[in-house]
Amino acid sequence: MSRAARDAAYNNVAAVAESAALNRARVEASAAFRATHGGALDLPYGPGERNKWDLYPGADAGAPCLVVIHGGYWQMNGREAFACLAEGVAAHGWSVALPGYTLAPDASLTKIAGEIRMALDWLAEHGARHGIAGPIILSGWSAGAHLAALALDHPAVAAGLAVSGIYELGPLRDTYINEKLKLSDEEAARLSPLRLPVIAKPLTIAYGSCEVPALIGDSRALHARRAQVHVPGALVPVAGADHFTILLALRSPTGVLVRQALALVP
């Protein structure tokens, strides 16, 4: 495989002709949501500039909380640009929380994964004073799904929803993604969910049927590995969705991914 072919295998933007317009619409909707909805914004959980939470508590502090980790191949985007994803489960009375994290190359993937765990520590300790005291469902999209799968074992997490994730990091070392990420062989092995012990908590794994094959393959492989040891969690192919339109299924109160999230809480 040529370098160009390896790059194309993981280039979600190039694979979706309308990606720029879809991202722009999400950013604009998120800015409007953030400006008009009450919540506790920009709450620091650590020393880094991006170590902040945006919290949108439901009316009932004991309601479940969907934590949404943003994507961007660990080197782009921020929590603010995904606030509109709160609309889906919030319509069902849930709380929503969005953590930020330091981006590569300013942080290694090891550090980024550690920041997510630090953020969850903070939420477990301080969430109740901000109206979030219910079970935590840890979710993420793209790189955020990878981080959610890694942190599923955190004591505060009840279950997970991983959307359009990358669960085997080895192939990324030979692509443009690694120019900023700078993964070593050791780090790729230690942080690839497909090479780690299975976490025995419910994890729903979703992908769009029009995703690039590499992401579809990773999603199917992670679900198959978990199914082999009989841990709970559905595999959810979202028909007709690509890497960006799949987020509409999490944003809409009637979306299939909202229904999957609701099903994770007994």
pLDDT digits (tens, 9 = 90+) for 47-87: 999 999 999 999 999 999 999 999 999 999 999 999 999 99
pLDDT (0 to 100) of residue 39? 82
pLDDT digits (tens, 9 = 90+) for 14-31: 999 999 999 999 999 999
Contacts of 19 (CB under 8 A, 6+ apart): 12, 13, 243, 244
Please confirm whether the linkage preceding 44 is cis (ω < 30° from 0). no
Q: How many residues does the chain have?
A: 266
Q: Which residues of 50-78 are buried (b: 16+ CB within 10 A; e: fewer)?
A: bbbbbbbbbeebebbbbbbbbbbbbbbbb
Taking 70 as the pLDDT cut, the residues of the chain under it are none
With 0.95 as the threshold, say if the pTM is over it.
Answer: yes
pLDDT (0 to 100) of residue 225? 98
Q: For residue 259, count other CB atoms closer than 10 A to its CB.
A: 15
Contact 118, 51 (CB under 8 A): yes
